[in-house]
Amino acid sequence: MTKRRKELESDMALKTSYVGYQSFIEDNNGNFIFPITDTSSVRKGSKSLDEILEEANRVISANKTEIDDKITKLQNSMNVTLGSKSYTFNEALLYLYNNLSSLQASINKNTKNILSNSNSISSIHSSLNTIQTNVTKNSKNISSLNTKVDGINRRIRYASSLSELQAFCSQTIYDNRPTTIYLKPGTYTANSPIRINQDTKIIGLGECTILCNNNATNIVFTNNLNNSHVRYTGPGDIVIENFNFDGKNTTNAITVIGLGHATNVEIKKCFFTNFNTWHNIELNGCSNCLMEDCSFENYGNTDSSHATEVIQLDAMFNSTVYPWTANYDGTACKNIEIKRCKFNNIMASCIGNHSFGSGVYPENIHVTNCEFKDCIYGITLDDVQNLNVHNCLAKGVDIFIYTNNAQNKVNGVFVSGNYYDGMLEAGSRLGAEGRFMKIGDKYKPNDPINVLHVWNNHITNANRHGIGFTADFVQINNNTFYKCGGNGIYCWGGFHINVNNNTCSQIALTLDDCSGVAVGGNGSLEASVCMINNNDATIRLKSVDTVYRCYITGNIAQIIYENDESLYGSKSIKVENNGYI
């Protein structure tokens, strides 16, 4: 044993009842100690350890006040720095206590907010799950709807050039997938045709201008025809929308949009300007086509010698009519609507045709809510079947509607709700001619068109006549004619003509022998079975040889006979109950 251990054993006696040897433990200072589990078993001389501790407590209690004072002085003499401020020991304890209390209150408050927000988040999460469920459900519905509308979801492409646009158009021919191609905003020059395949929409984004003055091409947009396409089986379901086409006053022969044998075509929100020849839009043998909200201006201004029609509705006769690849089977256009379009400064015809064949004719043509300003001709459609022109404005137009029998009889012209302000005061560009409507005298003056209904129109400043026609089965009712150079209504020839409830004033301003309503005058065809009733207009019966079986009654005007009145009785002409003014 070491000397230190002997000293410990001699100094302290182990009680004989202590059981279990416990090894000494060496502390960090090299001293040996042993655990004490029972202080009553340890003695120091004659006193046990418990007795020693009890005596120590009595000493401490006797000197407690002095000890507390010294502890307090010690605490107050100690400085503690918290942050940038110095505190005594007690002040530091109080500061920490207060801040810990405030922190605890804040933690408690935020805990409540967190719990509340947790509930809100749970509610939002539940709502998001519901929305996600609905989105998934509606996505299925939309997908189903797309399937019903298009048969398959459309492919979307964005082109940055006309060549890229053509590449995207060409792609559709390989997979027959419906495609929408957007051309990015910018100014482009047309150098070659853009050939469009089935079920393709081409839409300009923002301001898309295509310059069309390059003589390298004579067409900008066309459908991708081949010789196998007949009747209305060519590439269709085509949309062309939101483009500006500028011809830059070129005199090159160019058609901007030319389509053949197509069905279901829409040309919308396009602007055409500064062209001189061929056509802005040419439809040959097409069906179910809409031109809507388009504007056409400055056509034929630089060179009018080759100007024909801005919009041409022709038949697929030959390569002269349609000088691009096609099957020339004589298919005509049908079911065409021109709606809310504007024509301005057109030195030719705005809408028309100029090629004809027996048994081939355009049919079901509707022109509604359009504006025609400073144009020579508004509508020049020959051989047409069922032409409807309603609610249009024609101002500064020499002849608004001009239709004739070329190779087929015109059948059905219906005109209502239009306002016409002609060229009487400004002077017609057609010399002495100029009128709201000129019907059936160009090719076969003795061959009347069939069915002409004109009602509720306002006609003023007609350079010659308001309306002149050779037609069978006619209704001219409830129109107003004001300031006409010649006749207001000129019933030149035809069968079963009704002219009722029209008002004519300031008539025959430049021509002699004219009246509000004139009947007869066509030396080859009588005006027969005419009912001229209840008009506020002078009534003039032309040569007795050109009128037959007329009943004229209830008119507030003078009745004028160009021949001896007694001669008309033999032609079954009855005139009664008219109020002369």
Segment among 24-28, 178-182, 298-302, 429-433 with least mean pLDDT: 24-28
* Side chain identity at residue 277, one-letter code: T
What pLDDT shows up at residue 377?
97
Across 7-11, 132-136, 222-226, 383-387, the highest mean pLDDT is recorded for 383-387
Stretch (H or E) spanning 498: strand 489-500
Nearest 5°: CA angle at 423, between 478 and 365? 55
Average pLDDT, stretch 121-128?
Answer: 66
Whether 159 and 201 have beta carbons less than 8 Å apart is answered as: no
What is the spatial distance between Cα 190 and Cα 139, in angstroms, rounded to a whole number?
40
What pLDDT shows up at residue 509?
94
Residue 520 C-beta-side C-alpha neighbours within 13 Å: 23
Check whether 37 has a pLDDT greater than 50.
no
| Residue appearing with tokens 């006309």 | 162
Q: And the tokens for 124? A: 């939002």
pLDDT band (50, 70, 90) for residue 34: very low
Alpha carbon 310 to chain centroid distance?
Answer: 23
Check whether 507 has a pLDDT greater than 50.
yes
Percent with pLDDT over 70 in the chain: 76
Each residue of 348-375: pLDDT tens digit?
Answer: 999 999 899 999 999 999 999 999 999 9
Check whether 47 has a pLDDT greater than 80.
no
Segment among 81-90, 140-149, 236-245 with least mean pLDDT: 140-149
Average pLDDT, stretch 87-95?
Answer: 69
What is the spatial distance between Cα 246 and Cα 253, in angstroms, rounded to a whole number?
14
Check whether 223 has a pLDDT greater than 80.
yes
pLDDT band (50, 70, 90) for residue 394: very high
Nearest 5°: CA angle at 192, between 188 and 194? 85
Whether 209 and 242 have beta carbons less than 8 Å apart is answered as: no
Residues 6+ apart with CB under 8 A from 310: 272, 279, 280, 281, 296, 299, 343, 346, 348, 349, 350, 351
Percent with pLDDT over 90 in the chain: 55
3-state SS assignment for residue 124: helix
Q: What is the DSSP track for 17-81?
A: T--S----EE-TTS-EE---S-GGG-EETTEEHHHHHHHHHHHHHHTHHHHHHHHHHHHHH-EEE
Greater pLDDT, 46 or 232: 232
Average pLDDT, stretch 439-453?
Answer: 85
DSSP character at residue 307:
B
pLDDT band (50, 70, 90) for residue 423: very high
Each residue of 248-263: pLDDT tens digit?
Answer: 999 889 999 999 999 9
Whether 388 and 365 have beta carbons less than 8 Å apart is answered as: yes
Check whether 24 has a pLDDT greater than 70.
no
Rounded to two decimals, the pTM is: 0.73
Whether 184 and 204 have beta carbons less than 8 Å apart is answered as: no
What pLDDT shows up at residue 13?
39
What pLDDT shows up at residue 524?
81
Segment among 21-25, 151-155, 309-313, 555-559 with least mean pLDDT: 21-25
Each residue of 520-546: pLDDT tens digit?
Answer: 988 888 899 999 999 999 999 998 889
Q: And the tokens for 460? A: 């003023």
Q: And the tokens for 83? A: 């942050």
What pLDDT shows up at residue 125?
65
What is the spatial distance between Cα 403 and Cα 422, in angstroms, rounded to a whole number?
18
Whether 407 and 360 have beta carbons less than 8 Å apart is answered as: yes
**Best CA proximity match to 343, nearest among 373, 301, 300:** 373
